[in-house]
Structure 1
Amino acid sequence: MKLKPGAALLFDIDGTLADTDPIHLQAFNTAFAPYGHSFDKARFSCELQGLANVAIAARFVPHLSPEAGMQVLEEKEKLFRELVAEAIHPVPGLFELMDFADRHGVPMAAVTNAPRANAELLLDGLGVRGRFQAIVIGAELPYGKPHPLPYLEGLRLLGADAAHSVAFEDSRTGIASAAAAGIATVGIRTSLVHEDLEAAGAVISVDGYDDPGLQAFIAERIALRETSSG
């Protein structure tokens, strides 16, 4: 196998490594019920999915001080962590794709808008934290998704080239971030349908990492070539 220098795989976490969006929806509804907000799946995907908590607080509890608004979101995240602790399951084919990357020396990064505590809980729950050479937390940067900075930072930390890398995302916000960083983005259909993911900027979309055409797409993108039958 021949790998072109600068190739990398960059993954969002929520809804991309594990299908956690239904749990986030439950936690949001509990946290925002006292403020008169109720979300169904469609509203969640349009107004909450993939956004940074500071933006969510500013939109849905604007009458609170920034500190009080973030406290509402911190309580939401605490509830999410309690609910998700026993319900972390990988998107189908994830481990096989990571094994493929490891075999061929393709570095991987996790790039998320989630708080670090959430990100580490999910990565540890899946047992994959040590497989990532970089973990980028949008809230710890000057700009989170949909700004390209989180993915640009992921590329920088990996020493990767956007032109020979692939990103995996499940939200409009995340796809916008990765695409703006110049990375071909695969939409994961855990919450959104193909048309929504494509409209957001995904190059292709799949139900899971076990999609028959996905590995071929990745190999072509990162210029991986067979040099022998072994």
Structure 2
Amino acid sequence: MTTRDRPFILGLTGSIGMGKSAVALMLRALGVPVFDADAAVHALQAPGSPLLPAIEAEFPGTTGPDGVHRQDLGARVFGDRAALARLEAIMHPAVARQREAFLIEHAGEPLVVFDIPLLYEKGHQDKSGGVGLDAVVVVSAPADLQRERVLARPGMTEAKFARILDLQVPDAEKRARADYVIDTGTTLAETERAVAALVGALGVKNCTTDSR
């Protein structure tokens, strides 16, 4: 990796049920710092968050002493693009501040990962208007395996799965647009080797790249 004034920033994404969270854990195990956008959102909707009054004002009855009632808020915005845009206008600037703080904290690292589930859906891959990514890796698996994984989740139905897919960029398009693809439709060990190979390919010398 050439000398840089900041880490190489790799965007990590993938459609529902593709194994993105598992790959994020593998990256962490290799010593790569990972910023989890979903975790940041959860923290910003927890009790005591300064965003709660704004969320309550926009979506009355969706917050309380325990923070955001995620099921109630989700019902308000799921499938309603205008409502979702109002929520994002509250959440996204705060997530961006956390992401910037994460980058400052890890400024000396050769590689960091931004785990962003809706990276393509929200245009974050755009270097002119996104989050400053140097490359994107998409986590993917065959459609039948994706369906099996998702429908095994508690509370998931065929109809809900179909609605989620309608809101996401198709997997084939994500793969075509990605700089790298990690296939999780294979064994865990093979996926781990692929993740280690990717870290190695990026020239990251300070991370363990298991030679198994």
Give the TM-score of the pair, scaled to structure 2: 0.39
Q: Taking CA–CA contacts closer than 8 Å with sequence separation of 6 or more, which of the two structures ends up with the larger relative contact order?
A: 2
Give the TM-score of the pair, scaled to structure 1: 0.36
